[in-house]
Structure 1
Amino acid sequence: MKSSRVSRGVQVDEVWGAADAVLAQGERPTIERVRAHLGRGSPNTVAPMLDAWYASLAKRLGGGDEGVGEQGALPAPVLRAAKALWGRAQQHAQEQAAQSVQVDRDALERLVERLAAERVTLDQEQQRLNERSEALGAALQAKDHQLADLLRQVTDLQKGLLGRDAEIESVRAQNAAATQALQAERGRLNALNEEHRQERERLEQRASAQERRLLEDVDRARQELKRVTLLLADENKKAAKALGDSHELAQSLRVQVSALSAEKAGLAREILSAREDLQTAQSQQAQFRKNTTELLVELKTRLPKGDANAGTPAKRSKTKNVLKR
């Protein structure tokens, strides 16, 4: 007949005995070390039993050597190893607490230095933005004055152009009058020629002298007509050139006015952007000061009052947690 055995689970006394054996070897009992010593047992089963062993360790250590050999007491070697491990755990916890306090102090000092540097940087940035805003305001004011001067020049030039137009109209009227006079002179010459022809027919004896006189008059009239024509042509050229130069100058001034208007609009946008940057920097500085105050208050509340609290129940609880880990 085949015999069947029902496997028995890991018991509490087995886990405690394994933890005592691991502690006697100078090692901290952990779930894996206890399982390795037992050769069986799942972590979920061993973990609560090992926690109970740790919970009873302080009470068992408090019994001293008088409890050696009694039920539930630790063997002497295990007790000595546990006390040594307990002392090392307390010393490690105290050293770690002191290091934590020093690290917090160093971090606080670095934070204060960084906050001071950032505050100086923000103050410098605010000063730079203020200076930039003032410079842009002065530049915009100068551009406004310059634009006003150019507008006055354009107005004066337009008035001058109106005067030139009046002069040109006057020259044109004079030209028309001279043309009419020339036509009248031509008519008079034609009449004189006809009179000369008739006079020549009537007075053949006086023809030569009269003809010379008339030819001289005609020559003088032609010279005068030529002079007046050249004078009118020169005046027309000068007037046309002056009118063209005036139009070119007016166009150039209009281009300058347009450029200055665009530059003024750009400066206005830059001033608006600088003012927005200044408001943003001031808001950030106010939020930064508020966050700095809250952080300093929180750090002061978190820092320990002194080394006198090293043996308080909170320290002992922290030491027990270190031993458990």
Structure 2
Amino acid sequence: MKPRAVVIMGPTASGKTWLACELAMRYPVHIISADSVMIYRGMDIGSAKPDRGELERFPHALIDIRDPAEAYSAAEFRRDAIAEIEAAVGRGQVPVIVGGTSLYFKRLLDGMADMPASTPEVRAGIQAEAERVGWPAMYEQLRSIDPVACQSIHPNNLQRLSRALEVHAISGRPISDHWEAQASDGTSGEVRLADGQLVSFLQFGIMPSDRAWLHEQIALRFDLMLDAGLIEEVKVLLDRGDLHDDMPSVRAVGYAQVWEFLNGHCSHAEMRARGIAATRQLAKRQMTWLRRWPGLQVLEAGPAADQRESMLQSTLSQVADFLQK
């Protein structure tokens, strides 16, 4: 039988982790996190990472695999996720990939272009130049090199901007050339294991039916994070002295706003408002991306008391059918 895996995507605060754990109570699954903040050790509260008790009961792969000072690319995620999928299939488990980092899912399911590996020396050189001339100037440099890439890379997405410049510095080719090669290599939607088997995916997307309800959930969750010690968690990161606000870990939603507060750039009330607003913007981007994703089984989430149960039953029914094919 063809290997099978389940994907659970959705905006922040929509119930992805809960749904994955519900599946784990009913099937022999292996949960694989696809979250670009949960990868970091010591960043627990602000990433809504499952607590120790949940992780003991429902282990998640690819959580706590990096120090906040380290980078982690979508290519590395794809490599690690495929390794976890292979291990799960070998054990007779169903891989369940769950998270909200759209780029991770895109790279996993669409494949990766044959791009040069990242090198610390080139990356450090780009960072040094950016500190000297500023990131806006670096963006204009990329525009002159690769205007196609600039159409999909936001000026504030410093990680993708830096990577595009790095690829050009190492290979002498624009990163968009590599993207074009990827689009034509016929791998879209497939994950091939080392033994040649192709994994079949059932892809769920949680879509809140009531935007006001989602906004309420986001505000409530951010307040709960503050009550749970988010400020103290970020202070530990700040006191390390080796992290700066250009790093992906520090730029993460919620962490960036508390970082600004601790550095005296805003009041507590402003920090809270900015954190909630940034989380809402993230959720909006995630939902926009999901609406464009082909082959998605949409699950509606909302304020109705029975809506979560309905979402669960729909998921269980589709998973049962999928695994029997």
- TM-score, structure 2 normalization: 0.18
Greater strand share, 1 or 2? 2
Which has the greater radius of gyration?
1
